[in-house]
């Protein structure tokens, strides 16, 4: 019987934490708690990346872990908190599907993701290939969170959580992406959140609401 080394067990532990946090975000009703869960997800992602770097000797992943820590745990949650304070939107957000049904769909997506990841993980040669199914499940759950929310901010957080899942999938399959690519993605995500913040203010100023159905009513010059 092969016993996994300690660092591999820790990676599996943080992978499970990421999956649990994805389910918690899927069931969460309050936007402030959703931001806290996103920051916790970023912390678990940074920790798992640092452990992969330590266990495999892929030293460039230390930079990836540091970038994730700064961007996902501190900077983006801080920006989102400022947006919420300025927009005064600490509400419970509306859903298109109720929580029990959403969770059942989430379980089905997790099973689908694990089955989808089996042939891919068999082709990978990394120690972390066993966590690829969890990474794909996190992406699927984040996508489900996006399509079951009616408000703009929860959808943006769902998009950011999906990016976390994609980053974890890259780490699981190939020990991460080149640093230039990671920096480019991080910059794109940051700029995207800032631009979306501007749209949030425009929607709120026009309609006194952040419901995405109002995007269809926005016209230039109004």
pLDDT in tens, 194-214: 666 666 666 665 555 555 555
pLDDT over 50 at 221, yes or no:
no
The more confidently predicted of residues 221 and 83 is: 83
Average pLDDT, the chain: 79
Asked if pLDDT for residue 126 goes beyond 90, the answer is: no
Under the banding of pLDDT at 50, 70 and 90, the label for residue 176 is low
Tokens of 162: 């999906």
Asked whether residue 1 is domain-assigned, the answer is no
The pLDDT of residue 14 is above 90: yes
pLDDT, residue 220, reads: 46
Q: Model confidence over 19-66: pLDDT tens digits? A: 999 999 998 888 888 999 999 999 999 999 899 888 888 888 888 889
- Whole-model pTM: value is 0.83
Residues 143-160 have pLDDT tens digits of 998 888 877 778 888 888
- What percentage of residues in the chain have a pLDDT greater than 90? 23
Instruction: Write down how long the chain is.
Output: 222
Q: Report the domain count for the chain.
A: 1
Closest Cα to residue 148, out of 114, 112, 106? 106
User: Could you identify the residue written with the tokens 């996103």?
Assistant: 38
Answer with the residue of higher pLDDT: 185 or 180.
Answer: 185
Longest dimension (CA), the chain: 69
Q: Is residue 182 part of a domain?
A: yes
Rounded CA gap, 222 and 217, in Å? 10
Closest CA to 64 of 138, 175, 191: 175
Q: Is residue 222 part of a domain?
A: no
Residue 75: how many other CB atoms lie within 10 Å: 15
Residue 79 forms part of a structural domain = yes
- Show the domain range for 158: 6-217
For residue 72, pLDDT over 70 is answered with yes
Q: Which residue pairs, CB below 8 angstroms and at least 24 apart, start in 73-78? A: 73/39, 73/42, 73/43, 73/46, 74/39, 75/190, 76/38, 76/42, 76/160, 76/189, 76/190, 76/193, 77/35, 77/36, 77/38, 77/39, 77/42
């Amino acid at each position: 019987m092969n016993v996994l080394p300690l660092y591999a067990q820790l990676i599996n532990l943080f992978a499970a934490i990421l999956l649990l946090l994805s389910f918690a975000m899927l069931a969460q009703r309050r936007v402030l708690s959703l931001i806290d869960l996103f920051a916790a997800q970023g912390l678990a992602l940074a920790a798992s990346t640092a452990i992969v770097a330590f266990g495999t000797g892929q030293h460039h992943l230390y930079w990836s872990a540091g970038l994730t820590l700064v961007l996902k745990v501190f900077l983006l949650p801080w920006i989102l908190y400022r947006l919420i304070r300025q927009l005064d939107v600490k509400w419970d957000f509306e859903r298109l599907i109720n929580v029990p049904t959403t969770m059942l769909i989430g379980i089905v997506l997790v099973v689908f993701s694990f089955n989808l990841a089996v042939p891919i993980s068999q082709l990978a040669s990394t120690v972390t290939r066993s966590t690829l199914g969890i990474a794909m499940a996190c992406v699927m759950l984040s996508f489900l969170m996006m399509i079951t929310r009616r408000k703009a901010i929860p959808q943006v957080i769902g998009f950011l959580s999906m990016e976390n899942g994609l980053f974890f999938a890259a780490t699981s399959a190939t020990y991460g992406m080149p640093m230039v690519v990671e920096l480019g993605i991080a910059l794109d995500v940051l700029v995207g959140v800032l631009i979306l913040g501007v749209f949030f203010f425009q929607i709120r100023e026009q309609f006194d609401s952040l419901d995405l159905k109002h995007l269809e009513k926005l016209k230039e010059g109004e």
